[in-house]
Amino acid sequence: MSHNTFGHLFRVTTWGESHGPALGAVVDGCPSGLRFRPEDIQSFMDKRKPGQSRFVTQRREDDIVKVLSGVMPQDDGTMITTGTPISLVIENTDQRSKDYGEIARQYRPGHADYTYDVKYGIRDYRGGGRSSARETAARVAAGAIARLVIPGVTIRAALVQIGKHRINRDNWTWDEVDNNPFFCPDPAMVPVWEAYLDEIRKAGSSIGAVVEVVAEGVPAGLGAPIYGKLDQDIAAALMSINAVKGVEIGNGFGAAEISGEENADEMRMGNDGKPIFLSNNAGGVLGGISSGEPVVARFAIKPTSSILTERQTIDADGHNVDLRTKGRHDPCVGIRAVPVGEAMFACVIADHFLRDRGQTGRQSHQP
């Protein structure tokens, strides 16, 4: 992985800033012969799109994805991939023209403003430039292509924690996830979060969150130890999402607290002659290689640093200043990170599926 590209055989390069004319992704290494409809991409874009509820930024973007290369359009409106790079472009339509004067020179505490300036000596301050979460739109588009590569794999994510309010895992209902503005799988938690986030939002404050991603149907055998482990690449992919501060696989940090007896997932042969794991503490990855069990990861998102409360900071000239951030921000960026987490998962698994196929010659290791 280098700079703005990730993946080894299925490679995604993203480009673009929050308030430039457009942003996009080039998906390289996608196999040929995969058929899709433009709306197959769009449905994922819509999940991430701003302005969907009062709990996310009120910026208005249609996030229509244009496919500029790598496909042969068919008469029935579908597109078939040709094996050449797929260029996906999303125009920025709602860049409010305003005076950025203050933001242009002052560093939001907790934001990348300062570090970009230190590193590059120049910074696109308009809407956060490249450090804006808007970049993740390109990831979601790429993730939709990645899903085509692994049709037997179901990748879903949900928000499992906002602030200190965690869902009750016993209530987990996948169908519920699309029924509320939080991608919450626990119906009982929805009203709690609603009230809590309204409070946060009205205060001009923000709050952190945790997202859980689950991939079912991942064949056993994906992952390339030692330094191309499946869970390593998942960790990198999730940590690259804006505002993410922690990643865990399976039991994660919980694994530190338990004994070998509790942690090791026992096995038995199933009635169909296939191996069965009696538990999945490992989160579907052993020694960096998928076990055939669902691959499960969680990632923690910090609260956005764009808040109304005045905070101490400095400006580019080295003066102390106090700054409050106005504008249209997400009270909980974790919400819109849900489809982004899914997209990154899809890209990593598609990449490892192709890598494994190259290395072992098998289409799938699942018996």
Is 18 assigned a ligand-binding role in the annotation? no
Q: Is 1 in the site for a second copy (CB under 8 A)?
A: yes
DSSP letter, residue 231: H
Amino acid of residue 45: M
118/188 with CB nearer a second copy: 118
Residue in 38, 51, 163, 327 binding a second copy, rule: CB under 8 A: 163
Burial of 336 (0-12, 13-18, 19+ CB in 10 A): buried
Rounded distance, CA 125 to CA 131, Å?
A: 9
Rounded distance, CA 364 to CA 367, Å?
A: 8
| Cβ burial 289-309 (10 Å sphere, 16+ → b, else e) | bbbbbbbbbbbbbbbbbbbee
Rounded distance, CA 174 to CA 212, Å?
A: 12
Residues 211-250 that bind a second copy (CB under 8 A): 220-221, 223-229, 231-233, 235-236, 238-240, 242, 245-250
The answer to whether 125 and 111 are in contact (CB under 8 A) is no
Is 364 assigned a ligand-binding role in the annotation? no
Residues 253-272 that bind a second copy (CB under 8 A): 253-269
Residue in 53, 93, 179, 309 binding a second copy, rule: CB under 8 A: 309
Helix (H) or strand (E) holding 11: strand 11-16
Residue in 140, 197, 210, 338 binding a second copy, rule: CB under 8 A: 210
Rg (CA), the chain: 21
191/225 with CB nearer a second copy: 225
Q: Is 359 in the site for a second copy (CB under 8 A)?
A: yes
3/175 with CB nearer a second copy: 3
Residues 52-81 that bind a second copy (CB under 8 A): 66, 68-70, 72, 80
Least Å distance, CB 11 to a second copy, is: 7
Amino acid of residue 162: I
190/276 with CB nearer a second copy: 276
Residues 101-140 that bind a second copy (CB under 8 A): 107-112, 114-116, 118-124, 129-131, 135
Q: Is 314 in the site for a second copy (CB under 8 A)?
A: yes
Hey, what are 33's tokens?
A: 């012969």
Contacts of 150 (CB under 8 A, 6+ apart): 218, 346, 349, 350, 353
Total residue length of the chain? 367
Is 54 assigned a ligand-binding role in the annotation? yes
Is 53 assigned a ligand-binding role in the annotation? no
Mask of contacts with a second copy, 276-295, x by CB under 8 A? --x--xxx-xxxxxxxx---
Q: Residues annotated in the binding site for NADP(+), as ranges? A: 48, 54
Binding residues: 48, 54, 130-132, 242-243, 287, 302-306, 328
